[in-house]
Structure 1
């Protein structure tokens, strides 16, 4: 048996070089210079995606390069996994569309000639993860923890001051937790997430809410209650940033929106139930006003305890362990978590390798804009503070981050214009349809986690802080607005603001349904003015013609999807692409999903089938 040595000379992120103190690319591949060109092109698209191409993070690798890179990853970071199984998963990840067709094919020999032969269990799992909501049984513990955290969030928001005070004091009392969440809690979540992870940050938040709720139960003046609720708001801010991140980073990409929507749904339910309990307590009339007040203000004690218990059984986010420059970098631990979250070993190995390669692309793209790539990693309070300030600056200077910030801030503002009970009731159908109809049709709190992993905490913190800031301002000024305008005119004012929000969402918020977190870099790297021009000149005329005039034309798409092809038909109709040759090894439908024939894919598949992968891992 001949031992083959493959090596891949791809650039290594600066953060990884700084951590190891040496060149950790580990391997050199001779005779394949085009790998660099493909890699650099993909990195550039993650920064400025002028052609609006959505592609697989493995698209720059030939099969030989894929084998080499998988071998390096397994030997360096993931010795707990078998190299052959990891290579199978990587090949499925690279050609996910093809293997999805294989999993759905009626012909049992549909995968004949492909480098990976899927067993029945794997085929069923691949079908289910795309078609069935919450098909991964390991996700139920995450959803439970997210739902408890969300219910606590909503319940806390209803703990208003029932004391007999004027409108401005009443407004300040209600606004204090929102403003402290916006100005302190959201930003405090950054170091807490760095140090303790998403699950740990949620536990810290639950403890803060437990303590502040216990203290508020004994407050008898509005000033004391105002101060205690500041602590309450800090916990709210930490939890509001950390919880959606945990949900998004553990979910399968196809149903990521539905997983995060559990947060929004149960926040709304908590608000509704909190107001109901307040009404019940006061209308029941115990005859002891002090006791009634204590019950209302101390009620969040109970859900905070349930949250702490739920977090004990909840797994940490696997992506928390994947940034190369982090002291928490541990792909083996991330894989162990994914193995519990996913239904099959194939899915877990596929996801860990995809995240690894996506982070590699992301961090290398960030390093291109770094002036000093040899400086040591930051240590100490002021160094970390400088790092957070640098990340905050990059939110406004890097195109893909700035676009994500605009979209998420738009959603955060628009969310303040609806009520709690209606929000909960209409959140129920959104759970099933957000990943099929899309987020722009079901506007929710899911967009703050569109940010890349390197800026996810600070991006989410900024968006959630914006949400809480305007919630606080609304809570502060609404009693006076309602007093001055009356009920009818106040509702009319907010109805008008809803129309403004509708226009802003249409023009500024990209569709992200059924996309993995790693795909979103490419979506938000497209210029915002290009997206607005498409919405006004292409999508709006199509929408009016389709739904009003009854014209049956393909929906135009801004993006050229080379992963799933979900929008290629619209792009073909819009720009004149044609694909007349059906070269699919799986299904005659494949030609409708790609703008050109697929000789390169077949070349890779034939090369893969002749490659003796067993020799590679001898």
Structure 2
């Protein structure tokens, strides 16, 4: 038990240079990373027996004892004779064959991916519909009033997300649970998409799309958490990242549907049947998810939080191959929830997010990358690319076909992000791709000055396609992954709520202002505006966003305890270093602002936050 004794020491003994407030945060994180570390075997077994009696689980006591040992130390099954050969095989396979999982887990993965695709389709189908409904509703988009009305209608769901629906995520999850929240939000998406297709005035369409926001906001926070809480640790991070990838797939699918329904003629006295079918079609995948979620497991963590331990164990048995794995996760989740509740007592976590420098630095970095996901200009193209291509000289059908190309590239180049984000690092990816995105936006905007239609079309298409290629592996997956790992565990849910609201608020601002921005400054000025923001964001990332790749929780405390002004000065000093290395091809010595000391990862439980995989998997709980 010597390692356990070492782990049980206060973390400020390992890192005495941390300031007092950060040491408090560090010790809280140490407790939450694995509340079982350092507990002697005899005491642990006694606690398991008490737990089994209090929770009405005495029939599970043998499995719970083995599970508690593995929860405390992932290699415990190699040290105790109580583990059978079958137990050892399943526990070893978690590491050596991490993608060998139960059919129920993969059923949950398919459902979560389809829910993400619903999200993307909800956002994308308006792209093609706006080629038609403005004229039918008497909206002259060449005037200031008409352009603002177009922006208001298109941005309605994101106004709802920023002001109302994101803040309903926590009460919905507490009241209904993950599974029923997904059901309700997908049902809202289905009904509001059908409702949108039946409107005949701009204000009616605005109301319908505003209510669509109640299906978008809570779903965007709930589905990644649901996937994280059902998945085993080795693949949890990858499943959380799939939300962004399959959202991109949904955007591409929505673009394909827009093109497919373009040719539908009016029928039976129904005007605008094509754009109505576009909007209605986005609801169909939501209905499929509603039917599918009925057979999916509920989140074991939510059931345990409600005191429904027997149900939680049964769901874990569906999600895992062995009862020992289920018992391990059951006991560990219980201990972790008790530790979290104890840590939250007497603390104002919202205040501490701003008053403790370590937390404030993490929040600032998170908000920068979340803001950047919108003001890099991506959703301008995602929501308005059909208009952009049309203005450049494409016919309506060609504009929709070109939009499909953008959607496909956006999805395809999101696939490598699972590997690049941990190979090149979050900060490095952003610092490399933001200047590239700025150049692509300038190419797109400046192409509108080309007096030859063919040249203008080619320039706009190249600029937008290259933008998708550079965005998808960088600013696409980084913001949600980064935000899920930078906050200390005890304020993670609060931090992610603010981060999610940040991205939806600026999404609303971007989508409502684009039509008027184009009208006032022409496409050249509008794209130049977002190219300028890409460069501003490059500097903000350089100065205030810290690298988190491969850092443990202990190391992150050190990284974010560096004062903002010190890190900003360090960022400025990296400019001449980058010029020498990448332009002059010299070999300068890089400056090390911090050299974190990694603690041993022994005795760290299967669901803790240590290392890159576990931190990526620590998705925010709404």
Alignment CA distance shift 1:251-1:432 (3 Å): farther
Per-residue CA deviation, residues 58-100 of structure 1 (Å, 9 max, x unaligned), is: 223122322222222222226165333322222223222x45x
Question: SS state of the match for residue 501, structure 2?
Answer: helix
Cα distance, 1:454 vs structure 2: 7.1
Alignment CA distance shift 1:245-1:48 (3 Å): same
> Where does residue 560 of structure 2 map in the other structure?
528
Per-residue CA deviation, residues 175-229 of structure 1 (Å, 9 max, x unaligned), is: 1111111111111222211100111111111222222122211101101101111
Alignment CA distance shift 1:59-1:133 (3 Å): closer
> Where does residue 410 of structure 2 map in the other structure?
423
Residues 126-205 of structure 1 mapped to structure 2, 5 A cutoff: 126-130=91-95, 132=97, 134-137=99-102, 138-160=104-126, 161=130, 162-164=133-135, 165=139, 166-205=146-185
> Where does residue 483 of structure 1 map in the other structure?
519
Alignment CA distance shift 1:335-1:453 (3 Å): farther
After superposition, the CA RMSD in angstroms is 4.3
Say whether residues 1:295 and 2:277 are aligned partners: yes
- Structure with a larger share of its residues in helix: 2
Aligned residue among 343, 352, 356 for 1:365: 343
Question: SS state of the match for residue 136, structure 1?
Answer: coil
Alignment CA distance shift 1:199-1:525 (3 Å): farther
Question: SS state of the match for residue 316, structure 1?
Answer: coil
Cα distance, 1:473 vs structure 2: 0.6
- CA–CA distance in structure 1, aligned partners of residues 297 and 338 of structure 2: 24
Cα distance, 1:308 vs structure 2: 0.1
Is the CA contact (8 Å cut-off) linking 2:112 and 2:223 kept in structure 1? yes
Listed as ranges, the gaps of 5+ residues in structure 1 are 1-32, 103-110, 371-389, 567-618
Aligned residue among 282, 290, 303 for 1:321: 303
User: Which sits farther off after the overlay, 159-168 or 490-499?
Assistant: 490-499
Cα distance, 1:461 vs structure 2: 3.2
- CA–CA distance in structure 2, aligned partners of residues 478 and 257 of structure 1: 35
Residues 329-408 of structure 1 mapped to structure 2, 5 A cutoff: 329-367=307-345, 369=346, 392-393=350-351, 395-397=353-355, 402=360, 405-408=363-366
Residues 199-218 of structure 1 mapped to structure 2, 5 A cutoff: 199-218=179-198
Equivalenced residues, count: 493
- CA–CA distance in structure 2, aligned partners of residues 410 and 292 of structure 1: 39
Alignment CA distance shift 1:400-1:534 (3 Å): closer
Cα distance, 1:337 vs structure 2: 2.1
Residues 393-542 of structure 1 mapped to structure 2, 5 A cutoff: 393=351, 395-397=353-355, 402=360, 405-416=363-374, 417=376, 418=378, 421=407, 422-431=409-418, 434=421, 441=429, 443-447=478-482, 449-450=484-485, 458-505=494-541, 528-530=560-562
Alignment CA distance shift 1:560-1:428 (3 Å): same
Is the CA contact (8 Å cut-off) linking 1:70 and 1:86 kept in structure 2? yes
Is the CA contact (8 Å cut-off) linking 2:357 and 2:561 kept in structure 1? no
Cα distance, 1:321 vs structure 2: 3.0
Alignment CA distance shift 1:239-1:289 (3 Å): same
Is the CA contact (8 Å cut-off) linking 2:192 and 2:211 kept in structure 1? yes
- CA–CA distance in structure 2, aligned partners of residues 332 and 233 of structure 1: 35
- CA–CA distance in structure 1, aligned partners of residues 312 and 361 of structure 2: 29
Question: SS state of the match for residue 480, structure 2?
Answer: coil
Say whether residues 1:308 and 2:290 are aligned partners: yes
Alignment CA distance shift 1:335-1:191 (3 Å): same
State TM-score, norm by structure 2.
0.68
Alignment CA distance shift 1:50-1:315 (3 Å): closer
Cα distance, 1:163 vs structure 2: 1.4
Cα distance, 1:315 vs structure 2: 1.5
Alignment CA distance shift 1:392-1:200 (3 Å): farther
Is the CA contact (8 Å cut-off) linking 2:12 and 2:23 kept in structure 1? no
- CA–CA distance in structure 1, aligned partners of residues 283 and 246 of structure 2: 17
- CA–CA distance in structure 2, aligned partners of residues 51 and 540 of structure 1: 33
- CA–CA distance in structure 1, aligned partners of residues 525 and 495 of structure 2: 36
> Where does residue 221 of structure 1 map in the other structure?
201
- CA–CA distance in structure 2, aligned partners of residues 546 and 322 of structure 1: 53
State TM-score, norm by structure 1.
0.68
Cα distance, 1:463 vs structure 2: 2.0
